[in-house]
Copies of this chain bind each other. A is one copy, B any other.
Amino acid sequence: MASGTGSSREMDTQTAIMEATYRALCEHGYADLTIDTINAEFEKSKSLLYYHYDDKDEILLNLLGYLLDQFTVEEAVDLDDDPDIQLRTFVEWLLPWTIDDNERELQIALLELRSQALSDEAYSEQFTRADALLKGTIVDLIEEGIEEEIFRAVNADRAAEHVLSTINGAMVRRHTAEDESAVRTTRKGLEEYIESYLIPDDN
């Protein structure tokens, strides 16, 4: 019992650290994030933080893993919908027409972490996993649509890579160039791609 309780308390601490890091990252961005700014969001003792992690990158890499572990497709789409609706909803979830300040801060923070992957293999590993997870979800939706004859018998892998790259590019452009219309126009282009490339003419 003692070890069970200890392990559950350990989990609570880890979760509290991850949530504090998430808030601190959204607030300060990658460059200004320090163990101290994370600690300011963390309600437990600072020594606990130092006990678990050596530096901010170790915490942030764990945060990426934590966010990926939490991801489920049900969070983004309604599994009772047809696969074409699910695919559109998933695109909308990844690339919404409009975003509020909190979503903007989170997306910018994630892109700042992604840019760390340009020079840091540990970050690159996490984003490889993130891309594989998102791509796998899109492949599943397309394959389900093909099976139900809602989609043409396209190469699901290729279509999924295309959709994911397009979403990634639009997300980067949304936050690094002053042209919000680029995102909306890309979204319209993606809708059109689903309509003209995936859905047979007679549907």
In the complex, which residues of chain B have a beta carbon less than 8 angstroms from the beta carbon of A118?
A: 29, 108, 111-112, 115, 175-176
- A interface residue numbers (CB < 8 A to B): 29, 31, 108, 111-112, 114-115, 117-119, 123-125, 127-128, 130-132, 135, 157-159, 161-162, 164-173, 175-179, 182, 185-186, 188-190, 192-193, 196-197
Known: A167-B169, A193-B193. A158 touches B188 (CB 8 A): yes
In angstroms, how far is the closest chain B Cβ from the Cβ of A167? 7
In the complex, which residues of chain B have a beta carbon less than 8 angstroms from the beta carbon of A131?
A: 173, 177, 179, 182
Contact among B111, B125, B132, B165 for A115, CB-based, below 8 A? B111
Known: A111-B118, A167-B169, A169-B172. A161 touches B177 (CB 8 A): no
Q: Can you add 11 more A-B contacts, CB < 8 Å, to A108-B119, A172-B172, A197-B197? A: A111-B118, A112-B118, A125-B178, A131-B182, A135-B182, A161-B185, A161-B189, A162-B186, A165-B166, A168-B170, A193-B197
